[in-house]
């Protein structure tokens, strides 16, 4: 694996369904050695995770990293709160946006960038139920169009 190569560990598809993604940021994450080994094996879930700003620092909650099988006593709690490493200026920018109603920070994916573990986070705005319905309708239309296209091409 090269220095800049990216290897996806886990992504959070639900975030795209529940939120409008406005701005993306790349964050480092403070991990224990056994957690990194688990991540190398792809044992991670962002499904229920969320991000909070506390005392000017970012923390990710609910990110599940399975205990490393050979880690025994060194294993940490799989759901422990982990600190995200982001530039102060970016945190200030996010804090300004979050002060506005309806904005939040969501984790999108976790990946290896070279040998470093990175979390892609996004400033997002919650979708209302009708926005979700609209997205589903668009997806259905696209699916129908693709189906018709395939059928047309079969008979030509």
Give the count of alpha carbons within 13 A of 79, CB side only: 5
Instruction: Say what the pLDDT of residue 73 is.
Output: 62
Domain locations in the chain?
A: 6-127
Q: What percent of the chain has pLDDT over 70?
A: 88
Fold topology of 6-127: Small Protein B; Chain: A; (2.40.280)
Segment (H or E) for 2: none
Q: pLDDT tens for residues 52-78? A: 888 888 888 888 877 777 656 656 677
Segment (H or E) for 153: helix 129-154
Which DSSP string do the residues of 56-90 spell out, in sequence order? TEEEEES-EEPPPTT-GGGPPPTT--EEEE--HHH
Mean pLDDT of 18-28: 85
- pTM as predicted: 0.69
Q: pLDDT tens for residues 80-104? A: 788 888 888 888 888 888 887 778 8
């Amino acid at each position: 694996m090269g220095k800049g190569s990216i290897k996806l560990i886990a992504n959070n598809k639900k975030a795209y369904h529940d939120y409008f993604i406005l701005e993306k940021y790349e964050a480092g994450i403070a991990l224990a050695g056994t957690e990194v080994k688990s991540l190398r094996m792809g044992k991670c879930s962002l499904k229920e995770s969320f991000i909070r700003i506390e005392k000017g620092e970012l923390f990710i909650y609910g990110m599940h990293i399975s205990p490393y099988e050979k880690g025994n006593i060194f294993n940490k709690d799989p759901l422990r709160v982990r600190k995200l490493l982001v530039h102060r200026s970016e945190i200030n920018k996010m804090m300004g946006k979050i002060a506005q109603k309806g904005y939040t920070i969501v984790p999108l994916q976790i990946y290896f960038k070279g040998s470093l573990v990175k979390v892609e986070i996004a400033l997002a705005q919650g979708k209302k139920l009708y926005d979700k319905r609209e997205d589903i309708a668009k997806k259905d239309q696209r699916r129908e169009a693709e189906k018709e296209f395939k059928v047309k091409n079969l008979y030509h």
